[in-house]
Structure 1
Amino acid sequence: MPCPARRQERGGGVRTLRDREELCTVLGVPFSDEQLDAITAPLEPAVIIAGAGTGKTTVMAARVVWLVGTGQVRPEEVLGLTFTRKAAAELAGRVASALENAGVLTGDDTEGAELILTYDSFAARLVSEFGLRIGLDTDPVMLTGASRYRLAARAVAAAPGPFQSISRLGHASIPERVLELDAQMQSHLVEPGDVVAFTRRAAASFDAAPLWRGKHTAAVSASLAALDERLELLTLVSDYQELKRGLGLVEYADQLRRAVQLARTAPAVGAAMRSRFKVVLLDEYQDTSAAQAILLRTLFSGDDPATGRGFPVMAVGDPHQAIYGWRGAAANNILDFPQLFPRTDGSPAPRLTLRTNRRSGQRILDVGNTVASSLDGGDGVKLVAPPSTPAGTVEAMRFGTQDEELDWLAGEVIQRRSEGTPWPDIAVLVRRNSTLADVFEAFRDRDIPTEIVGLGGLLHLPEVAPIVATLRILDDVAANPDVAAVLSGPRWRLGLADLEALGRRARDLVGDHRIAEAHGVLTDELAQVMTEADPAEVASLLDAVNNPGEATLSPSGRSRVTEFGRELAELRRHAHEPVVDLVRRIVSRLGLEVELLARDGGDTSQLARFITAISDYVDVDGDGSLSGLLAWLEAEDDHGVGLEQAVPSDEDSVKLLTIHRAKGLEWNTVFLPALGDGYFPAGDRGGIWPTRAASLPSPLRGDAQGIPQLEEYSKKGIDGFKADSKADHRASEDRLAYVALTRAKQVLVASMHAWPPGLKNQRKPSAYFTIIEQARTRAQVAQAQVPDTNPVPTTEISAHWPLQLDPSRVAERRVAADLVAEAGRLLDDGSTTEAHDEWVWQSGTAGPADAALLRGWDEDANLLIEQQSRRRARRVALPEGLSATALMAMHRDPSAFAQQLLRRMPRRPSAAATLGTRFHDWVQRRFDSTASFEELEPHRGAEPPGLTRLIQAFERGQFGQRSPRGVEVPFLLRWEDQVLRGRIDAVYDWDAQEFDHLVVDWKTSNQPADPLQLAVYRQAWAQAMGIDVARVGAGFYHVLADRLSLVEAPTSLIREALAVAEED
């Protein structure tokens, strides 16, 4: 029941809170005692351990109300930090709403507002406001998302080398490793030189390890090789960092590092923050990195009260939900908070707990508590549900094969929907992105509306996987697994014997003539070709495709391999096109859209989503690389690495996503499939730092005290370190399982299958499945029969070859082919349309009984076309960067622009566009002081007609002898959340009453002049120069007419143009 209210009002009807009961009343929330303890805690440091679903956001909002309502702080003296923009907006909204509903604001209070930011935004603001104190750039351009991978790929491509150790790695994997190592160094405030020095010392220690039979052990040799790789990666990391500095670009991690440097070297910054804010709330503190913790401690907790000790910082989080260690989070931060943020007297800050989960039933919470008990020895927070909450349902099912499990899962989802659960209240959570495609296909076959949340899951869909595989093949001649996957796929359907022959030919081409004796399974040659890693030594299947020689290929196999080689050669000629154009070309060449229209009733939505995601791959310098794109896709597949979590849409569909993406979300019904041992909990694919080059050595990490350490540089030391790291990884998997289990409100269903393809022994249920099975609601549930032997073929590659097609579809295609062939014969014979019609009806292909049916098909087709034309337009996400030209195109025709994003194809340049481009080039050379006289002369044999006339007109005109401030000036303009890029044709110093800078756009044709373009130029130049935009004029210069047309070009045009994108 709500608490009784006792309140006292002050002048103007503004309420002053006096006690906890009144707080409950004014907010209308029956807070528990533990919540009230946190809300009304004294103004001193404190940490709240808030279990899943315990209402931490509500508690933080109520604490602000309490502090403001009791007169301890004003709203603008509250600083709140969280991780994502979505979470920041939600917390800000909750706080503002709670303050308004409580009626505790004075008139003056309404003029200020509490500041709720992301941790990254806070660091950036510090640098922007105070960075000049130590000479930092206070207004850099942010580098985020896919742009990081593009720039890293550029740094790798430009590196002089030679690189002996990392040359064995795939092209696409190197940029990702560079970014991974760089991110870890930034997160733990480590310089490249420190890592180089440590790595060399470690190599010397390993080199001195005890020998076995006169040689290093395999473990020590692997460590020495990895250390050599790390040294080469560090060279690339330094190149990447230098490239960022040269381009004036920073990542959020760079800004964080600079903020720490600022806070450490300028104590006045911390004093200013403590003066400006009276209380700090830190949300999701378990996910902070070592660098973030150091920044916050430097600003808000000093060595004595004068430097911040005892400042009221309240951290809120749950160590059981610390699942972002791979992103730099230090899981021990929240546990160490009481010691690192002590009270004024130096004693540890108090620890408060929130145990009452207001989301899930108790049966579901009991399962989560059991998993969490392994993390804290059973002494941690145990979640409890309010007595009034239904206990919930917990179920577990075992199956023999994956097909059986997926078929049951689809049927169960349909059953839940028929019982009244809306599609969006159902979620399927998986450990790996690769599982999403299997579930999605099973649901699509049963017409279940399904949304894959995030890009990673799309990569394994049958319409997307061939595109990614083809991109890898074009990028890396050693992409043997992708070559084998494409050749054995449904398009080429190459048989096992032919794949074996290619494998033998590949090894023959590199001089290895070993012949396998085994046959009937994947042979040694093919298996080795598929797994070799060093491009200098690898036997490339592509080499065998291009030069099959006398390989014992079947006639049909040889024909298919030859055609496959031709197709790749054609695509390779376009490999340096913009990546979106290349992807569209691959889609067209593979016939994927046509196949989807035939197979899935025209559902190309997932393919469109993938292409839209790729269209966001817009380079900051206009030079996106294929290797960078593949590195980004690989990282998305591994984790979904975007700083912002993908958010499920409001579509009426079941949500399908990885557990990492599900954090912070909830559904009435949650399914957890594939809970077999080895799948979840998963093994540690990351490895340990002595044998993994991209890992930062643990002694250098900021959280070194809370993670395993290598005790001895020897095989014994490595074995012990592996065991400790394995246990540490298992703890991270337990935390991930806890997150998954606590997403369900009322129904939690787990399932697993015992026989994945290729296993000789049954896969055991995972520890998590066993816990759920023991807690299931119904003790007796009919389980599927699990056979004693694997009913799935030993390997996928030894299944029926060629792949079996749908017999009815084959028959339909043969009939269609016969019709086309006969129609072509009639047309070749000069037959008239009437003769063709007579053939259709009289040849027996369609008798009189079919005439009505055929006419009905015509009518249906026309109706479908009409419906398609009226179909509501799909919303298309804008790329993260837009050129000024693209902005104008979007403003003119948003629908056409969106379609172009989805179907980007190269456009043939017009004569006018070519002429304009050549003129711009000439003007740039004209005012380049290093250009020779020969360079200024047009090359008449190669230049378009009219260029000489334009040049002569320009030389005679008013700008011919006037020196510009700049020509073809590149810019990156940040406008709210959008980045606009382009080049300003020219900028002049201008002596006018209204302005003293003039941006000019050359007009070489009669095409319409859009002031939006000049609005972008004005704002970009003003931002670059740090001046008021009112001081920048704009005009179009019509070259042939020698006419300068000044226009207003207000910046409101930019806002309006981007608003059109939001509306459409």
Structure 2
Amino acid sequence: MSIKYTPEELAAELGIFAPTPEQKLIIEAPQEPALVVAGAGSGKTETMASRFVYLVANRLASPHQILGLTFTRKAATELRERVMNRLRALEEKGLWAPASEDRILGLQPVVSTYNSYSANLVKEYGYRIGVSPDTTLIGDAHRWMIMEELVRALPYEADGGDFVDRTVNSLTAAALSLASSLGDHSLQPAQARQGINQLIDEMTAGKIYSPAKKIVQDLTTRAALMDVVTSYQDYKLEHGLIDFSDQISLAHQIVTQDASIAAREAGLYTDILLDEFQDTSVIQLDLLASIFAGKSVTAVGDPLQAIYGWRGASSAALETFQARFGGGKEVSNFTLSTSWRNDEAILNVANQVARELRPDSYERAQKEADFEVDVDALRGGGYVQSPQLQPRAANTGGLVEVGYFETEEAEAARVAAWLKGKYDTYQAEAAGDETSSKRVPSTAILCRKRADMGRMQAACQELNLPAAVLGTGGLLGEPIIQDLLAALQVAEDNSRATALLRLLTKWNLGAADIYRLARWARKDRVKGVSAASATIIDVIDSLTGLAAGESADKANEHGRLSDEARQRCLIIAQQIRELRRTAGLSLVDRVRAGIRIFNLDVEAMVNPNESSSMRALDQFLELAQEFMENGSHASLSQFLGWLEVAEKEERGLEGVTPDPVPGAVNILTIHAAKGLEWDFVVVPALNEGDFPGKAAARKADSSMPKQSGWLSGITEMPFPLRGDYQYLPQWQWVEPATAAEEKNTIDSYRQRLGVHALREERRLAYVAFTRARTGMLLTGSYLSARRKTVSRPSTFMTQVLNTAGLRILAAENQEGSFAEPPTEERVEAYQQAKLQEIWPPEATPLQQQSQQVAEKVQQLIGHTDEELNQLLEAALEAAPEEAAEKIQRARHDVKLLLAEQAAQREEQTVTLPLQTTTATSLPSLLADRQRALLNLRRPMPSITTESTHLGNLFHAWVERELRSSASLLDDEPTSLPVVLTEAEGRKLAAWKKIFHQLPLWQTHEAVEVEHEYVTQVGGVNVICRIDAVVKNRENGKIMLVDWKTGRVPKDQEHLFNYAVQLHLYRLAYAKKHQIPLSELEATLVFFGENGRTVSYQELVEKGVLGEDPQARIEAALNGTTTAGEA
């Protein structure tokens, strides 16, 4: 078929940049297997979209005949939208039109995630292998709950055994990790057990010594855990559940057992685009190759960005493309080597750190090593080399600075100051140029370890820089969440003395009093608890059972417990007991109770960083809600166990890639940052032992690192059992003659693992360094409270110091140089200072201010109101302007708190500040603002009615249905199946039938489902979650849809509430997409009346909204609406 449009002609028509020579080769390549190695920021998404459009515009394929797969929903959505927008543009210009049958059937591009594609295969063909299409997908929380219950049933033998000295949490985490690895490498538990036992037999065939005995012990535990994994798989099968790894393994089982299914699936698509190919697992490669080998498969990846080996990504995805997909023919190889993201100075540093990953570095490593490097294993035979990125034309700018400081505190302060300087520069430029759009730069701090996030956030906040820790890992590090976790842990488990110490610290108990409490626990028998097992928590508990004088006398037996300490312990004991009494409530209600009983909501409100603390509490409640929704019997103990493991794991709870927060310093892990970019990026803690981590760090004498890897621990699948083993360090056991010989054998292999780990860390550094567009700062420090020894600069820092364009950031009192290594005296002084900080804990600025205020209050008690007002006015007159403003704000806050307290005692109007609300909360604000705001501050457990429960189920079903039918990436786990009464089942079935028969689907198609938008009304951010966004197939006009399971209301008040929701949805959507309101339709669909629709325009014409709905809404939001006015 002749080519109608060249890539350059299509670019000109679409008004986009013409492709580079490299891009042109890929876009117009023959429809044959091809491998594209694309460097970071080299325009791979643009190239994939352009190839997609090129094939369609030249009638080489229809849109629905091209399959695009990637890893994240965000990336899939971006690619799909880019393709759809360009096809629409071509259609509008008359250059292309879909075939008539495609238009009638509404066929569109198929762009999805790898997991979604597998899930659809299971849904369509699962019955062939006995899997129901109604199988429920479960997430990590639900997986944890199932496995934890199975682990608790294991035999724990006190006199030894497979699980001796292992905790429930550690075994649960290990079993889940092994279960995922089995799926990644297409193994069954019995096969893995046999393979592990073979490794054990090889090692124990002769005499072994201490190091090998520990390896055998850990291998034995992993073999035993395969029984638990088998039980887990049986449980899922029995209950109709699958997890993410099951989606791939079941799909693989389907296509390998029935060649006709693979052939049928292959016949659906002429071209396949595989994104982020370096991150695919062994089983994903097998699945895709089983279907698409020999077809027009274009795989795009970058070996330098292969950072997900820990979660199953194959070490050989790119290297095996030829063998898997070539179909016996030589595949085409292309590269994308121009960086469109990074300025030249940044690019130079990234290329320098990646230099050690290139083929010639293997031989160099061999020469430098003090052991034999397995070059062939590291290279993997057909090694695929990533191109060295080149700067875009006329790109000579960029800034990279490096700073190494004496202490981690100095490092964090300098990082914050550096970022503030960038903010100040942007704002100064914007002030002098009214047309400038550069109001605030995008910035990020990318951490290798979560432990660094808190100090970075605190340093930013010290300079009033907005800082957002992204992801759940950051949430667990928030101080107020740490306090909440401590309270929940103490209430749930009497052995959590460390958690109690955190609560005692909050009450400023002295070390002497805590010592006496501990002595009491050791020396005295607490009622109901043996002296041998009594803990400090038992002592605190016992205080509530004693009278004041009796408890004081009891404490005096082991040394005087101060009266103040006794009073504070009594308060804590009462709080703990009150929280324990909530044991019959749901998980979420128990968490809410913990917040209320320990006054953490009040603490959050008076905190200078109120919004951050309140947001953290809200997010934690959402996390508990999500966990609870995964199981009808979710317990607090399970929830805490899940969080504990997730907090310890560096990558735990990473979840979906978080969306960056505009206008704030984004603080996140490097793994979470992949695929994102910012103007300015900081990579801190570049210390040997931190980044690279201990396992990959060179020794002080520069010798190669050693790592135990799969040899130790119980979570990792042994390398010899992996499907990509030939590309990993090879394990060969030779019976040792002596203990020294055994040690040398194991050490030699540990060095091989160390080299492998260092290369993984180096790829992670490359990913971090290529996130910055304009400027980057690399930092580290010699001293840290978390380290006993003095650190030294990371190899990733020292190797780039001589790179062109890099500047040394001046250390304190020095010009353009690193801080000098600290002397022994400085190290000792720093460590001593840190010990003093540990106990007694230094009061925070907030605590110091609170103490001063308390003393002032004591002095003022007894004054009349008139005298107090006079003192306040005098203070205002004498105070500087800034201080006076703070006093006025404090005065306002006190009035609000007093008003809230009064409102709880008697019905009267209260005014509370409102910064954020939801469109669905507005009806309660309009009806009774006072009650609504009080509920926002101290929410009470809501009663879920039958109709609400059924409505929620229906909304969830509609969301899944639309995502599936519109290829909108339905790869999210659903909650457990629910049991409905016969009447509920009939009603739900009727709604589903009405949904499928809606006339709406004859003219419209879904483009978004359950999408969140934000608009600002009267200074308040209103969150709008739109049920569905649909588009008219003929004219492309957008309509917003809100599903209602009831009937059309007869009264004006309810109609007004619904109209307000639509009004806000239109405002939010129009603002986000910058389209006129007049072009935006909105409608309500009532399933209680056979799918009757009521449009926004109808409501306006009936006068439901009144003359000025905006004013009425603003009045409700800003507090001028009184109860009953609506």
Instruction: Indicate how the Cα distance of structure 1 residues 286 and 576 shifts in structure 2: closer, same or farther if over 3 A, else same.
Output: farther
2:193 aligned partner: 196
Distance 1:184 1:849 in 2: 66
* Shift in CA distance, 802/731, structure 1 to aligned 2, threshold 3 Å: closer
State the alpha-carbon separation in 1 of the partners of residues 631 and 403 from structure 2.
Answer: 53
**What is the identity, as a one-letter code, of the residue corresponding to 1:138?**
P
Residue number in structure 2 paired with 1:291 = 283
Rounded to whole Å, the distance in 1 between the matches of 2:977 and 2:265 is: 38
Partner residue in 2 for 1:25: 12
Partner of 1:175: 172
Q: Is the 8 A contact 1:80 1:115 kept in 2?
A: yes
Q: 1:728 aligns with which of 756, 763, 766?
A: 756
Change (3 A) 1:240 1:473: farther
Shift of residue 542 of structure 1?
4.5
Are the aligned partners of 2:129 and 2:254 in contact in 1 as well (CA < 8 Å)? yes
Distance of 2:414 and 2:619 partners within structure 1: 28
Counterparts of 1:620 and 1:461 in 2: how far apart (Å)? 25
Alignment-derived partner of residue 809 in structure 1: 850
Q: Contact 1:612 / 1:901 at 8 angstroms: preserved in 2?
A: no
Hey, what does 2:415 align to over in structure 1? 409
SS of residue paired to 1:80:
strand
Segment of structure 1 superposing worse, 326-335 or 127-136: 127-136
1-structure distance, mates of 2:150, 2:936: 28
Q: Is the 8 A contact 1:364 1:392 kept in 2?
A: yes
Task: State the distance in 2 between where 1:177 and 1:339 align.
Answer: 34
| Pairwise CA distance, 1:283 | 0.6
The reply to whether residue 469 of structure 1 matches residue 486 of structure 2 is yes
2:422–2:441 Cα contact (<8 Å) kept? no
**Matched position secondary structure for 2:393:** coil
Decide whether the 8 Å contact of 1:282 with 1:315 is kept in 2: yes
- Offset from partner CA, 1:831-877 (integer Å, 9 cap, x none): xxxxx5467579x999899999999975676699999746342459x
Tell whether 2:233 aligns with 1:241: yes
Indicate if the aligned counterparts of 1:401 and 1:754 stay in contact, CA closer than 8 A.
yes
CA drift at 1:615: 2.7
Q: 1 CA distance for matches of 2:928 and 2:869?
A: 46
**Please, what TM-score do these two structures have when normalized by structure 2?**
0.70
> Structure 1 36/802 Cα, relative in aligned 2: closer, same or farther at 3 Å?
closer
Change (3 A) 1:849 1:280: closer
Q: How far does residue 384 in structure 1 lie from its aligned partner after superposition? A: 0.6
Cα distance in 2 for partners of 1:464, 1:1056 equals 44
Matched, 1:974 2:957: yes
Report whether the alignment pairs 1:767 with 2:795: yes
Alignment of 1:857-936 (within 5 A): 869=912, 871-874=914-917, 905-906=940-941
Residues 478-517 of structure 1 mapped to structure 2, 5 A cutoff:
478-479=495-496, 481-487=498-504, 489=505, 491-495=506-510
Cα distance in 2 between the residues matched to 1:469 and 1:848: 40
| Match of residue 151 from structure 1 | 146
SS at match of 2:690: coil
Contact 2:473 2:654 (C-alpha < 8 Å) held by counterparts: no
Query: How many Å separate the matches in 1 of 2:989 and 2:174?
Result: 38
2:120 to 125, 150, 171: 125
Change (3 A) 1:591 1:1035: closer
Deviations 1:410-444 (A, max 9, x none): 22222111111644511111112221121112222
Q: Name the amino acid aligned to 1:318.
A: D
SS of aligned partner of 1:581: helix
- Percentage identity across paired residues of the two chains: 28
CA distance in 1, matches of 2:512, 2:80: 63
1:230 and 2:198 equivalent?
A: no
Whole-Å separation in 2 of the counterparts to 1:17 and 1:891: 60
Compared CA separation, residues 173 and 318, structure 1 to 2 (3 A): same
Matches within 5 A, 1:60-209: 60-102=48-90, 104-108=95-99, 111=103, 112-157=107-152, 164-166=161-163, 168-209=165-206
- CA deviation string 1:645-696 (max 9, x = no partner): 11124x4322221111111111111111222221111234995334222222
Alignment of 1:735-754 (within 5 A): 735-754=763-782
1:792 matched to 2:830? The reply is: yes
CA contact (8 A) 1:423 1:654 kept: no
Q: Which of residues 691, 699, 704 is equivalent to 2:712?
A: 691
Superposed CA deviations along residues 442-477 of structure 1, whole A, max 9, x for unmatched, are 222222122222111121121112222333444555
C-alpha distance in structure 1 between counterparts of 2:931 and 2:318, whole Å: 50
- Post-superposition offset of 1:578: 2.2
**Deviations along 1:455-508, whole A, 9 cap, x unmatched?**
111211211122223334445555455444554x4x044555666677778788
CA RMSD, Structure 1 to Structure 2 (Å): 4.6
How far apart, in 2, do the equivalents of 1:814 and 1:782 lie?
44
Cα distance in 2 between the residues matched to 1:753 and 1:538: 43
Which AA in structure 1 matches 2:299? A
Q: Give the residue type in structure 1 aligned to 2:656.
A: E
Counterpart Cα distance in 1 of 2:1092 and 2:386: 57
**Alignment partner, residue 463 of structure 2:** 446
Counterparts in 2 of 1:579-594, with a 5 A limit? Answer: 579-594=587-602
Q: Deviations over 1:287-309 (max 9, x none)?
A: 111111110011112xxxxxxxx
Are the aligned partners of 2:169 and 2:645 in contact in 1 as well (CA < 8 Å)?
Answer: no
1:372 Cα shift? 1.3
Q: How does 1:433-832 map to 2 (within 5 A)?
A: 433-479=450-496, 481-487=498-504, 489=505, 491-495=506-510, 542=537, 555=562, 564-575=572-583, 577-600=585-608, 602-603=610-611, 604-634=614-644, 636-637=646-647, 638-641=650-653, 644-649=656-661, 651-684=662-695, 688-712=709-733, 715-716=742-743, 717-757=745-785, 759=787, 761-775=789-803, 777=805, 779=807, 781-784=809-812, 785-786=819-820, 787-788=822-823, 789-790=826-827, 791-794=829-832, 796-799=834-837, 801=840, 803-804=842-843, 806=845, 807-817=848-858, 822=862
Q: How many residues align?
A: 888
TM-score (norm 1): 0.74
Q: Given the alignment of the two structures, is residue 269 of structure 1 paired with residue 261 of structure 2, yes or no? A: yes
> Which stretches in structure 2 are left out of the alignment for 5+ residues?
361-384, 427-437, 526-531, 543-553, 697-706, 736-741, 813-818, 900-908, 961-971, 997-1044, 1048-1085, 1097-1112, 1118-1126
Q: CA deviation at 1:974?
A: 3.1
**Whole-Å separation in 2 of the counterparts to 1:102 and 1:1054:** 34
Partners of 1:840 and 1:815 lie apart in 2 by 12
Deviations 1:855-904 (A, max 9, x none): 9975676699999746342459x9xxxxxxx9x99999999999979865
CA shift, 1:114, in A, is 2.0
> Equivalents in 2 of 1:69, 1:848: separation in Å?
75
Contact 1:611 1:902 in 2 (8 A): no
Cα deviation, residue 546, structure 1: 5.8
The residue number in structure 1 matching 2:449 is 432
Q: After alignment, is 702-711 or 320-329 more displaced?
A: 702-711
Equivalent position to 2:1088, from 1028, 1038, 1049: 1049
1:698/1:609 CA distance change after superposition, 3 Å: same
Counterpart of 2:207 in 1: which secondary structure?
Answer: coil
Following TM superposition, by how much is the alpha carbon of 1:576 offset from its aligned partner in structure 2, in angstroms?
5.5
Following superposition, the deviation at residue 67 of structure 1 comes to 2.1
Q: CA deviation at 1:275?
A: 1.4
Q: Which residue of 2 aligns with 1:514?
A: none
Greater mean deviation of Cα atoms: 673-682 or 174-183: 174-183
Q: Could you tell me how far 1:625 is from its partner in structure 2?
A: 2.2
Deviation, 1:577, is: 3.2
Q: Secondary structure of the residue that 1:633 maps to in structure 2?
A: helix
Structure 1: segments with no counterpart, 5+ residues: 1-9, 302-309, 511-536, 824-835, 879-885, 921-966, 989-997, 1001-1013, 1025-1033, 1037-1046, 1058-1062
| Residue range with higher mean Cα deviation, 662-671 or 759-768 | 759-768
**Distance in 2 separating the partners of 1:903 and 1:151:** 33
- 1:482 and 1:181, CA in 2 relative to 1: closer, same or farther beyond 3 A? farther
Q: How far has the Cα of 1:88 moved from its partner? A: 0.9
Q: Is the 8 A contact 1:674 1:752 kept in 2?
A: yes
Aligned partner of 2:406 among 378, 395, 400: 400
SS of equivalent residue, structure 1 residue 395: strand
Residue pair 2:304, 2:766 contacting (<8 A) in 1 also: yes
